[in-house]
Structure 1
Amino acid sequence: MRRELSLPFETRGHRGLISVRVVPNDDPWASGHQLVVPDLDAEAFRGFPICTAGLRYHGQGIEAIMGWIQVITRGDDVTIDLVPNLSPVDPFYTYGYLPTFFDAPANPDHPDGTWRASTFLVVVPDVIRSHVVEPLAAFSWGYNLHAGRPDLLDVTPLPARDWSGHQPLLQATHPTWTFA
């Protein structure tokens, strides 16, 4: 099973590298799930994936401001994954200086099926003046659920054409943004 991946990217005249790691959650208490699920049944959450993607980048300062956009597919349902306490107007899962991507989905109560994330490192070319987003690199990860128990999927690089496949949904969900 492939649980780690390195993806090169280039933006603003500098090279970078994404280091992705997906591991099963062996200790839902240690990963902080009780902060979002106060009556946590740790055993039900055990084994779901924890995904972390860090960046190394040769640019500095404002040049290193980037973001992550994540698209979730479950069966025929495709959604943009947004953090609940951030602005729903913006398409970003996270945005900032060398942003680390982190997600630890755990849905033991969902019906059997595949939960797959397409996770894109993106930039706004002029950082804050426009609402234009360009993809830099992407990867896929997730799990298959059977009777409440997850089986992790391999983490794999995504080709550039995957971004264009999500553009209609991104544009419909975030009409004030342009997805180049």
Structure 2
Amino acid sequence: MEIPFAIRGVAGRVVVTYEENLRPESVGCLPETEGFPVCTATVERPMRGYDSLMGWIQLVRSDDNVSRGELFEIDPLAPLGDLPHPFCWFGLNPTLFDVPSRSPRVDMEWTARSFLCVPDDLGNGLEARAVLGFDWGFTIEGGTIELDSPRQLEASAWDDHSTALAALYPAWRFPPGFTDLT
């Protein structure tokens, strides 16, 4: 899947690859991740340096999260622990990479919403402006994993999460809608 976007009038795109994890060792994962999805979202944009600074915010709703599947919750990059910002990946044209898994494989639904964001460049403080978003996931039923292919999200999906994000990160602002910062 390809999702076009523009920031300050410069076009770019996100290329999302999504596949079954057939060789866990090839993506740095344990054997029990076999059969689960591998999702990679690569940012392609001809800018360098600070003009390419972006981050991915990912929220997950699953039957085994704190709300028991009722709400989307922040999905941090686990090896970094708790962070004072909402990003799971951040950098110059950053790549989102995720291989979720569960052991044991109990019946469940798992959905991620992944948003590419840009920081505030006006010096107004900590702000994450969403540029685009997509969702993806999997379902486990009777031990069998079914992959849910990525779908592009509308700006209203970002708006659905801005209040919860602001509560988790009170020093940050999360303006509504998708922006092109023209």
Bin the TM-score by the shorter chain.
Answer: 0.7 to 0.9
Partner of 1:66: 54
Equivalent residue for 1:78, pick from 62, 72, 76: 72
Structure 1 residues 66 and 120: CA distance shift in structure 2, 3 A: same
Q: Which runs of 5+ in 1 are unaligned?
A: 35-41
Q: Is the 8 A contact 2:135 2:151 kept in 1?
A: yes
Q: Letter of the 1:122 partner, please give it.
A: C
Equivalent residue for 2:39, pick from 46, 51, 62: 51
- CA root-mean-square deviation: 1.7
Task: Provide runs of 4+ in structure 1 moved above 4 Å.
Answer: none
Q: Distance in 2 between matches of 1:128 and 1:151?
A: 45
Q: Could you tell me the percent identity over the aligned residues?
A: 32
Deviation at 1:168, TM superposition (A): 1.4
Partner of 1:39: none
Q: Which runs of 5+ in 2 are unaligned?
A: 63-68, 176-182
Q: TM-score, normalised by structure 2?
A: 0.86
Q: Distance in 2 between matches of 1:128 and 1:108?
A: 44
Partner of 1:169: 164
Residues 32-79 of structure 1: CA deviation (Å, up to 9, x unaligned): 113xxxxxxx2x421100000111113222100000000101121421
Q: Distance in 2 between matches of 1:169 and 1:146?
A: 30
Q: TM-score, normalised by structure 1?
A: 0.87
Instruction: Work out the number of aligned pairs and report it.
Output: 168
Q: Is the 8 A contact 1:108 1:148 kept in 2?
A: no
Q: Letter of the 2:50 partner, please give it.
A: I
